[in-house]
């Protein structure tokens, strides 16, 4: 089949998980065009550019704006509005280039990317949405994930998510939590993981892995140095050793090694690392960006399930308390069953077969999955079951 695959370039998590499915589809012989923005473009060119049945196009994508106190919706809207004329022109040029080259997609995949959605709607091609964001709007959720203080941010984020991918043929939603599905044409999947993580074997070491955007700030490092544990810190400009702190140059292989053998992880609110830590049963202290509802949402699920702590700020005393109690989180993580990507591949194969046969969008898939639409009624005591009580 001829496939168009859109990937949002805000952050690298979308690109790393899309790479997993792209490699599977390329290996099956499909002809694929990828449209992708920002840093994700160079990553995919570097990792997948050698495939003869793949063409990668760089487009302009939506960018989030952050300041010291968190994400700013107003600045985000203004910044993207100012860049809109240039972005639209560039994206139109890419559209016409694909048209001139005679490519016509049989199916469109979109990892939260709007260009691909517009292509699918314009050409009336089935769209498969594949991301983690749709969990916020297409599932029933635990109480307490949303506070009164961040209610507005959550409402804005849900509205934004709903506007990104309406009318999809099917929604594949990946994550480490599996609440009841509220909407038709929605399937929950385990985290989409790179092969290096799937092959990694958990061993309990004594170091703590740190991956945070503040890793270059002296104040952050001084505070971390006062906590009586060995820290391996990624995100620094210069590698080196300072008392109990080891600043590490980024190396993917070594990062996986340090993750699988860590006592625990201290990191920002990135979803990919959160999923990798849960998969490997490594407790996590996560510090989501303030007012970034998606990160807050995922971090609070992590805490509700007992897999770690959702911190509001970098608090050395709270991190020290978390590390002293790390075995409590390890016990909770034992209830999480690590899985490979076979559910993802099976569901995608089923969808492609249905599309090839011109079948209407199914309410739910036949392939094994972590969650499917079961009708409007909620399962009895589902919150208790999800929390493992």
Q: List, for residues 62-82, the tens digit of each pLDDT value.
A: 555 445 445 554 555 545 444
- The pLDDT, as a whole number, for residue 10 is 73
Residue 219 has pLDDT above 70, yes or no: yes
Residues shown for the chain? 389
Min mean pLDDT across 27-36, 100-109, 138-147 is at 138-147
Residue 364 has pLDDT above 80, yes or no: yes
Q: List, for residues 315-352, the tens digit of each pLDDT value.
A: 999 999 999 999 999 999 999 999 999 999 999 999 99
Q: List, for residues 173-207, the tens digit of each pLDDT value.
A: 999 999 999 999 999 999 999 999 999 999 999 99
**Beta-ladder partners of 208:** 231, 264
Model confidence, pTM: 0.92
Residues 359-385 have a mean pLDDT of 91
CA angle (316 as vertex; 151, 225 as ends), nearest 5: 145
% of the chain with per-residue pLDDT over 90: 72
Residues 244-265 have a mean pLDDT of 95
Residues 151-172 have a mean pLDDT of 94
- The pLDDT, as a whole number, for residue 77 is 52
CA 68 centroid distance within chain: 23
64 or 156: whose pLDDT is higher? 156
Residue 8 has pLDDT above 80, yes or no: yes
- The pLDDT, as a whole number, for residue 216 is 77
Same fold, 2-194+341-386 and 196-333: yes
- The pLDDT, as a whole number, for residue 78 is 46
Residue 19 has pLDDT above 80, yes or no: yes
Q: Domain spanning 196-333: which CATH class is it, in words?
A: alpha beta
- Quickly tell me which residue has 């069953």 as its tokens: 337
Burial 316-346 (b: 16+ CB within 10 A, else e): eeebeebbeebeebbebbeebebeebebbbb
- Quickly tell me which residue has 């949402």 as its tokens: 297
Q: How far apart are CA 228 and CA 377, in angstroms?
A: 50
Tokens of 122: 């314009």
Q: Helix (H, G, I), strand (E, B), or coil: what is residue 355? A: helix
DSSP 373: B
- Quickly tell me which residue has 């506007």 as its tokens: 163
Residue 214 has pLDDT above 90, yes or no: no
Which sequence spans correspond to the domains of the chain?
2-194+341-386, 196-333
Average pLDDT, the chain: 91
- Residues 6 or more apart whose CB falls under 8 angstroms from that of 356 comprise 1, 106
Residue 24 has pLDDT above 90, yes or no: yes
- The pLDDT, as a whole number, for residue 290 is 84
- The pLDDT, as a whole number, for residue 65 is 44
Residue 100 has pLDDT above 90, yes or no: yes
DSSP 168: -
DSSP 375: -
DSSP 201: -
Residue 386 has pLDDT above 90, yes or no: no
- The pLDDT, as a whole number, for residue 267 is 95
Regarding the domain with residue range 2-194+341-386, which homologous superfamily does it belong to in the CATH classification? Answer: Glycogen Phosphorylase B; (3.40.50.2000)
């Amino acid at each position: 089949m001829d496939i168009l695959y859109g990937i949002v370039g805000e952050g690298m998590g979308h690109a790393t998980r899309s790479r997993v499915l792209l490699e599977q589809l390329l290996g099956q012989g499909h002809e694929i065009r990828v449209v992708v923005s920002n840093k994700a473009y160079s990553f995919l060119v570097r990792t997948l550019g050698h495939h003869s049945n793949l063409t990668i196009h760089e487009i302009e994508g939506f960018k989030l704006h952050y300041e010291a106190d968190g994400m700013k919706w107003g600045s985000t809207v203004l910044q993207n509005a100012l860049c809109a004329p240039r972005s639209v022109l560039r994206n139109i040029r890419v559209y016409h280039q694909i048209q001139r080259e005679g490519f016509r997609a049989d199916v469109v995949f979109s990892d939260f990317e709007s260009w691909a959605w517009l292509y699918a709607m314009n050409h009336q091609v089935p769209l498969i949405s594949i991301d983690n964001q749709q969990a916020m709007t297409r599932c029933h959720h635990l109480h307490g994930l949303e506070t009164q203080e961040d209610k507005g941010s959550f409402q804005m984020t849900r509205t934004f998510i709903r506007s990104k991918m309406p009318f999809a043929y099917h929604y594949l939603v990946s994550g480490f939590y599996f609440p009841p599905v509220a909407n038709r044409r929605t399937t929950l999947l385990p985290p989409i993981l790179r092969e290096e993580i799937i092959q990694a074997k958990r061993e309990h070491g004594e170091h703590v892995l740190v991956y945070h955007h503040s890793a270059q700030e002296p104040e952050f490092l001084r505070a971390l140095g006062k906590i009586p544990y060995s820290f391996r810190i990624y995100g620094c400009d210069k590698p080196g050793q300072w008392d109990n702190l080891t600043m590490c140059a980024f190396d993917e292989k070594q990062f996986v090694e340090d993750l699988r053998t860590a006592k625990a992880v201290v990191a920002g609110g990135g979803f990919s690392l959160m999923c990798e830590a849960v998969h490997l049963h490594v407790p996590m202290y996560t510090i989501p960006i303030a007012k970034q509802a998606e990160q807050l949402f995922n971090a609070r699920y992590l805490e509700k399930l007992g897999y770690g702590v959702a911190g509001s700020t970098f608090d050395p005393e709270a991190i020290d308390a978390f590390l002293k109690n790390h075995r409590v989180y390890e016990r909770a993580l034992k209830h999480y069953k690590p899985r490979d990507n076979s559910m993802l591949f099976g569901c995608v194969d089923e969808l492609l077969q249905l599309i090839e046969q011109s079948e209407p969008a199914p309410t739910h898939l036949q392939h094994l999955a972590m969650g499917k639409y079961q009708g409007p009624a909620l399962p009895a005591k589902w919150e208790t079951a999800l929390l493992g009580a």
